[in-house]
Structures are given as structure tokens and as C-alpha cells.
Chain A
Amino acid sequence: MSDKLSPAKASQTLAFLGRKFYDTELKTLWERDTETLPWLLRRKRRKYRAFAERELAPFALQADQDPHAFDVKALFVKSGLAGFQTEMLPPPLGTASVSAYQYSLTGRPAYALLMPQALKAEEFCAACGGLGLMLLAHELGMAPLIISGSLTAILKWMWKIYREINSGEPAIAAFAITEPGAGSDVEDTAGAARASINCRAKRVPGGWRLSGRKCFISDGAVAKWVTLFAAEEGKGVESWTCYLLDKSMPGFSVGRSERKMGQRAADASELILEDVFAPEERVLGDPGAGWAINRNVLNYSRPIVGAIALGIGRGAFESANAFCRSARLGNKPLLEYQDVQLALADMMMKISAMRGTIWQAVRHQYSFQAAGSMAKVFCADTSWEVCNAAMELLGNHGFLHSNRVEKAARDARLAQIYEGTNQINRLAMFEGQLGSEFQP
């Protein structure tokens, strides 16, 4: 192509105002998107990225290949001291900006509550889906404290856990809903009505006795705190109650740690409760409010799962892009071949679409069922496509661990499954808008 016809050169032929409207500046999409954010979020986004590039990316392959040898608690402490593990509430209960709550409580434009979490999820998971999930699952574990709406719980427990993390303790929290016989059931209204619930709570003087098992619990083995849901003896999910437990409680133990296809650095474990006593103060919200807490936690967590998928997809794109810049075919870099350019452009477009979807989803004053599920499903499916395209682009080199794209594909696949399979989430979208879009 003639240099004179390039957009940058051609723009010089325009008058001053014409040039102003013709943006030919060489900037990454990441940078351009960052510039659209309010100042505070721009700053946060750059901080998340710097942390991820320094503390996650260099260890991603090692933590994936040999997860048990990697000290995830030390990483959690670093993230905690940087203020990244306590961003659900503003000081003195956390490190969130007051601006986030300004919007959530008043509807006045500052930025939405979930936006920092979405930005953080993308940055951490672009570096490593597994380590990213390990850090992000903590806030999922903490979410029931706020979602329960119990001021006492918020003031007492959020304050305590914030202080622990702030003093360098790996006070990780985990969210425990899934059971061996009830995976999708606990994510879906129709399924829940007939679910076979294993985790049971029995009222005793001064509190509750809990027994049963939970499985696939992210951070289950490394967590100190667990927000766990159990049904009353002889009752169904309508009696679900949320308890804040700590793993040092007598009768509480960790079963098997799962061996997963991807996101391997993030633990997923079975939790076993044998007559664990939970005092009344450990009940979050009222007894029987567990189902509502669970569903609303998912409304807020699903956009973040979408952002995790976005990050993993972006990581795959960046790795593929780097490979195509350095690998040569014939007498020129792979990047100069048009078929390669077509594939990279397609991946970049999908990443931009995912980011647009997430940022739109978290702009709502309060997250809701359809918004959360749409963001999660779209990004999980699209990220899987992007990671597959990255593998295809690298050909035989795509399946080598050292090139990172195969890891990204394995990591991305989980986003189509956890927090409700994408099939369950599609039904959730319909249920959420039943009576509006889908008025019978």
C-alpha cells in the first residue's frame, strides 16, 4: 500500500477541523477503551494490569502445570495488601471507592458498583485464568454478607475480615452452593423445586447443626471463611439458609480437590460437614432467605464470570498476536500474511464485543438476572471461540503449553459451565424477563 494513502498520511490533507475528527492515532484498543472510563476507574484499570503482569503472568504456566506447588495464599496476601481483595465496601469496611456506592444508592452517574470487579477480572484473567479465579472467588464468597442486607452481619464480619486481610492474613472466603447431586438444580428455579438437597441444617439451642457435602467449591481448600447454604431437615430449597462458617469449626473438613481441565491454579474442593455447630450469629439474613441470597449473588457474579472469560480470551489473543509477530514464514513474519490478519482481526472484534457487553451489563444501577446471564453466556461462548481461533492460528504450535493459547482454551471452557451452565443461564434470561419481553 502506498504510504501516501495510509489513513495517517491521508488525514494530513484535511483542514484543521477535518483532522480533529479523523482519529488516526496509533493506540491499542485497551488504551482507547481505558480512556473512556472516569478518572478513578482509569487509574484502577492500570493498577490491576500492572499487578497482573507483575504477580500473575510470570507464574501462570507453572501454577497451571503444578498447582499444588504454587503458594496461592502468598499471592492472595499480596493482592490483599494492594487493596484488591476488599473492594466490595468503602472504608472503614473495605477499599472500594465511595463513588461506586454513590451511583448504586442514588443513581447519580459516577460509576457502577460492579465496574471495578469487572475490570479486575479481565486484567487478572488475561494474565492467568486460574490464578485470577483464585483471587476473584474470594469476593464471591464475601458477596452473601452484603446481599443478605443484614447490617449486623455487614458491620461485624466485613469489618473483621477486612482487618484480617489488611494485616496480611490470607483470610480467603469461598461460596458453597453446589452439591454432589445438585449442580444445575441450585442455579435454576424449576430445578430447585425438585432438587435433592444433601446439605442439611437442624435447629438446636443457640444455633444450628449442619451436615452434608458441597462439591466443586472454588477456593474450598484454601479458604478460611465459607458462606454455605443448607436446607432445614425434611424441607426443600425454600428453606435454604446462608451461614458464614469458618473451617476451623469442629466437624468441618475438606474432601478431595478436583483435577480439572483448566483454571487449574484455582482450587475446587469438596467440603464435608459432620454435625458442624453454627451459632445464630453466623446466619446471614433470616432463616429461609438463602435461596434469595443465592440467586441475587449470581445476578452480581455472572457478569464477573463474563469478565473472566473476556480476560482469558484477551490473553489468548495477546499470546497469538505475539507469536504471529515473532514467527516467520518464508521471508516475512506470520503477521504480514492476510489470512493471519483476518483471523487476528476477528479475534480482536470479538474481544471488543465482549468488553462492550460486560461494560454495558455493569452499568445498571443494580444487576439483575437477565443482564448477568446474558453477559456470562455471551462472553463464555465468545471467549471459547477466540481461544479456539488462537489455537488454530498457531497450528501445531497451538497445542504447546509454552505458547499459552492452549491453556487459555482449557481455562475458557470452564466459563461455559460454572455459575450455571450456559444452558441454565439462557433459561434464567427468559425467566428474568418473563412478564416483560416474554409476556405470556
Chain B
Amino acid sequence: MEPAFLQNFIETARKFAKREVASMVGIEGRDGNLAKLPEILKSAAEIGLLAIADPESPGYEYGVWGRGSLSEGPAVSLAILEEIAKACAGVASCLHFAGLGALELAGADEKSRAVAVALFEDSWRLDNKALQSPPDSALQVSSQSGRLILSGAKSLVMSAPDCQGYVVYGAGQAGWLRVFVPADTPGLDIGDAGWRTGLAALKVSNLDFDNAAVDAEHALPNRDCSGFLRRLWLGLSAIAAGNARAALAEASAYAAERYQGGTKIINHPAIKILLGDASSRVQASQALLQALASVDRDDAGSLRRAAAAKLRISLDCCQAVTDSLQALGGYGYMEDYRLEKRLRDALCLKIMAGRPDDLRMFCAEGLGEALT
């Protein structure tokens, strides 16, 4: 991909983040003025940053996880996510999950509705076995009189607020099945997950399927979840990196202005150590992201590398954010400077879409494969 082509998206995302997103977050309140979120997402769709499964929409090709990412790789999506996350990781997450949903509809009859992907359940954890075939406890999909019947639950499904349906991964007779389920399907109960640490812009729902029935035509072409997972992890890594970059920049600016003991705090060894360490973590995360942004293969190795990147980047970036916050002392802990919001968001990014230990074990399974 031409650097100028990529730079163009970065500039668009940067301007959008500064103009629309930063003003939302800058408003008083724990997570800014979330009432403005629908307007912001609408604007993101209009300028082509938000991907919608509608060929007429501006972001269809090169929005976050637009169809272009299938042929040209994740570089554009990751760059946009990182830029938006510098203003707000929650808004970036909305673009990320909306894009992942839209991309799941690729190859199917186009459905221009905003959708979310429902893969994870509480009853099983991701490992090699679960990737290949659904565990016994997975949500069941059966066929009955030309309709698909879904029974089971999906936990903590993440989406943009205007989610109108779900691409649900369930266990069919021959393995994993993907089914599009509109949000208003009878038998589908959507519950709000409740108050949480951060990424407040995201909608997080628990889905209960009590013999929810959809037409058989809602079955989507068979595809395993590895492409979705790879993009999910890479995108979250980019958001974590953008969030940490901004935290470091904000802490550095504060340290260059604030005095302690008669000298600017940036001159104190304790602050240099904190911010220097944060900087090394952010730089290493960016380097890792860039390395993966240029490679796009749907193979097992790429999936492991994405898992490793999510693990390493989310941990390092969370540490970089907490160190940046520490440089501000008491002010870092108050809502005013927004470092505490960045830390709350970083904590969420660290634990979502696979516990760190799950990712570690998943990476280790790859080592086993390599040996055999």
C-alpha cells in the first residue's frame, strides 16, 4: 500500500478525532457527553471512517474493516483506529466493532444494517479445539421447517449503540454455523451488561436465545471465526496503542509545565523513569502493530501472531497509561485531566476478547503445533 494513500486516511481520522470526538470527551462527566455519540458515528459514516455493509456507503471500501481490508490488509483500519483512540478509545471501539460486524456480512446478501458479532460465551474458552469445532456447551442452531432455531446464550457482546442485529456463531450439525439474527427476533432477549469500568461509548449486551427462530436464508456462508478473531485482536491492539500514545503525550506536556521542588517535573529522575519506560512500551507496541499491519493472511500462524500482539500490546499499553497517570500525581487520578479515563479504558482493553492467560495458552498451543 502506498504510504501517501495510508497517510490520507490517517489525516482524515486525525481531523475527525480532533473536531468531533475530542469535543465530546472534553465535556464534564466521567466519560464525556455520550449523548453526542450517535451524531459522531453518523458523521464518521458520512466521511467514510465507519464501514457499513452497504456498497453505496462512503466507508464500504476503506472504513474500519471495510471490504478493502480483505484484499489489502488491515493497515488502513488499524491506522484509523489508532488515531481515533488518541481522542477516545470508546468511540474507536464503536468503529471497530461496527466494522467487524459489517465485514461478517461479506459474501452474503448485502444487509445494510448495523450488526455485531456474537462469538464468545461464558461456557467455553477459546483454544485450538474450540476453533475447529464448537464445544458441547456452545449455543445450538437447529433446522426446523425451513427455519433456524437458536438456543443458548452469548455473553458481553460488544457493538456500536445502534446495533440492529447479530451475526451469531453457533453449533450446527456439521460444526460452526453463522446466522444473522435481527435484534427484534422473537425469543431473543437482549440485556444490558450494566455499569462498567470504561469504554462507555460501547454497547455491551448479554443475549439469551430461547428457541429464537429466523428464516433459513439468514444462514451466512460458512466461514470459521479465525478471520474475525484476528481482526478483533489487531483492532483492539491498535486502540490500546492509540490510547497509550495520547496518555504519554498528555503526561509529557503536563510534566513539561508543572513544577515540583523548584524545577519542572520532567527534570526529576522519577518522572523521567516513568515516562521513559512508558515511551519504550508505546514504541514497541507500535512497531509490533506496524509489522502485523503489512501482513494479511488467514492462516493459523497469523492468528497466533495477532493473539500474541493483543496480549503484549494491551499489557504494555496499560502499563504505559498507568505510568503516565502517575506522572500527574493526584491530578492524574481526577476526571479533569482524562488520564483516569484512559486508564479505565486501557484496563478494559487488556481483559476483553480473551483473558491474558487464555491468550498465553492459545499462543503456547501454537508452539506445540510448530514442534509437531
Contacts and interface: CB of A to CB of B under 8 A. Distances in A.
Contacts of B330: 178, 183, 215-216, 417-418
A260 B335 contact: yes
A57 interface: no
B126 to A, nearest CB: 10
Interface in B106-125: 120, 122-125
B154 to A, nearest CB: 11
Given A195-B261, A343-B357, A406-B196, A329 B123 contact: yes
Contacts of B196: 399-401, 406
A399 B351 contact: yes
Contacts of A181: 259
B355 interface: yes
Contacts of A384: 322
B357 A261 contact: no
Contacts of A402: 194-195
Interface string A123-154: 00000000000000000000000000000000
A185 B333 CA distance: 18
B334 interface: yes
B79 interface: no
Given A329-B123, A339-B361, A396-B120, A401 B350 contact: no
Interface stretch (B67-75, B212-220, B341-349): B341-349
A395 B123 contact: no
Interface in B331-372: 331-336, 340, 343-344, 347-348, 350-358, 361
B194 A184 contact: no
B274 interface: yes
A402 B206 CA distance: 14
A423 interface: yes
A230 B326 CA distance: 27
Nearest to B355: A395
Interface in A73-131: none
Q: How large is the interface on B (under 10, 10 to 19, 20 to 34, 35 or more residues)?
A: 35 or more
Contact of A421 (B262, B263, B329): B329
B27 interface: no
A413 B322 contact: yes
Interface string B244-268: 0000000000000001111100000
Contact of A65 (B195, B326, B340): B195
Given A399-B348, A417-B332, A421-B326, A410 B197 contact: yes
A261 B194 contact: no
Contact of B261 (A185, A216, A388, A414): A185
A423 B274 contact: yes
B260 A184 contact: yes
Contacts of A409: 197, 347
A185 B268 CA distance: 13
A231 to B, nearest CB: 16
A423 B194 contact: no
Nearest to A414: B333
B155 interface: yes
B294 to A, nearest CB: 30
A406 B347 contact: yes
B214 to A, nearest CB: 26
Judged by DSSP, the binding face of A is: helix
A50 to B, nearest CB: 28
Interface in A157-208: 178, 181, 183-185, 188, 190-191, 193-196
Nearest to B124: A330
A268 to B, nearest CB: 8
B156 interface: yes
Contacts of B274: 423
A325 to B, nearest CB: 14
Contacts of A422: 326
Contacts of A339: 357, 361
B333 A260 contact: yes
Contacts of B355: 392-395
Interface string A255-278: 000111110000000000000000
A228 B355 CA distance: 46
A261 B344 contact: yes
Given A328-B123, A423-B270, A194 B326 contact: no
A398 interface: yes
B137 interface: yes
A402 B351 CA distance: 16
Contacts of A194: 261-263
Interface string B88-122: 00000000000000000000000000000000101
A426 to B, nearest CB: 8
Nearest to B339: A261
Nearest to A180: B331
A396 B326 contact: no
A340 B333 CA distance: 31
B309 to A, nearest CB: 17
A417 B326 contact: yes
Q: With a 10 A CB-CB cut-off, give which of A330, A384, A426 has the most chain B CB atoms.
A: A330
A327 B55 CA distance: 43
B134 interface: no
Interface in A290-341: 327-331, 339
Interface string B56-77: 0000000000000000000000
Nearest to A189: B261
Nearest 4 pairs between A and B by C-beta?
Answer: A194-B262, A191-B261, A423-B270, A261-B340
Given A183-B329, A190-B261, A413-B343, 6 more contacts: A65-B195, A183-B331, A328-B123, A391-B351, A392-B356, A392-B357
Interface of B: 30, 120, 122-125, 135-137, 155-156, 193-199, 259-263, 270-271, 274, 322, 325-326, 329-336, 340, 343-344, 347-348, 350-358, 361
